[in-house]
Chain A
């Protein structure tokens, strides 16, 4: 089975490890592909990341991506329209309910990252998940958040993630497991991340899918859009 991690940050945006180190370590852990999603800091930084990736020769698939951290909904929409046609993966950093909901509403968004971060609830509700299912936006289970919390905060985070898993199951929303790593020491074996999801009451089969077929589907759809084969939802150019 091929595994993908679509949320890793490099040293180009506050991370610690270089793109080369990340790729080497991902290969060692058994990933088939990764996406390096740096925080959005303008289009020049994005070009730098793309050049860095193109420069390296690798055996695994490496995609450029963007993680958007917006203060309000208008800013979020503005940023999405700027970057959508330039990168493979668009991740929205969640936590704020209105941002979570706006991200679920937008079919241009691929992943809503840690919707429960810094909250006293799970950050998602029924309308959000219905919208996410309709627009094919995946909800992320972020491993880094668990790794850097301890005792009581960790128990809250695990509880919220477990709630989101249950809701996603109910509404058939795609769920994706990502490491969210900012250095190679925060990356883990794909099978170990599946075990964590499984201990948070995600079925083992679904956990496997959310590390393999869900990310693969996102990549495939975005490839079509970037190559100009997909015109809009349901309209494609077939050769």
Chain B
């Protein structure tokens, strides 16, 4: 096996503090995830600038995107939540489709975001 070596994961005290924003895209017509991602990056770079975006440590988590309801999760650092939220609010079009980005809320982990805003259930709820 020729697996690439990775650095050890940092202890929690040394990791950056992250927040997860659940967003809902209200649009005239259906929009593709790739277009949403491009538009979010465009808006973030315009509003926060390159240094601001790098500090915000933005990731859009593709696996969690709900295509049917057009809901997704965006990760950012804990001190740039307001900036990221503002950048999302300033998006008005994806291609030719008019959209409204609505932030449903913020959470500290992907799991909690899914439970809180996507209506997913905990495994413990199925016991008994």
Contact = CB atoms under 8 A, between A and B. Distances in A.
A29 B89 CA distance: 13
B46 interface: yes
A189 B98 contact: no
B60 to A, nearest CB: 17
B90 A196 contact: yes
Interface string B31-54: 000000000000000110000000
A72 B48 CA distance: 38
Nearest to A30: B102
Q: How large is the interface on A (under 10, 10 to 19, 20 to 34, 35 or more residues)?
A: 20 to 34
Contacts of B81: 195
B86 A196 contact: yes
Contact of B89 (A154, A196, A204): A196
Contact of A188 (B46, B83, B100): B100
Contacts of A191: 85, 103
18 contacts: A29-B102, A143-B89, A146-B90, A151-B46, A185-B92, A185-B99, A189-B89, A189-B102, A189-B103, A191-B85, A191-B103, A192-B89, A192-B103, A195-B82, A195-B83, A195-B85, A195-B89, A198-B86
Interface of A: 29, 143, 146-148, 150-151, 154, 184-189, 191-193, 195-196, 198-199, 204
Given A185-B92, A189-B103, 17 more contacts: A29-B102, A151-B46, A185-B100, A186-B92, A187-B100, A188-B89, A189-B89, A191-B103, A192-B85, A192-B102, A195-B82, A195-B83, A195-B85, A195-B86, A196-B90, A199-B83, A204-B82
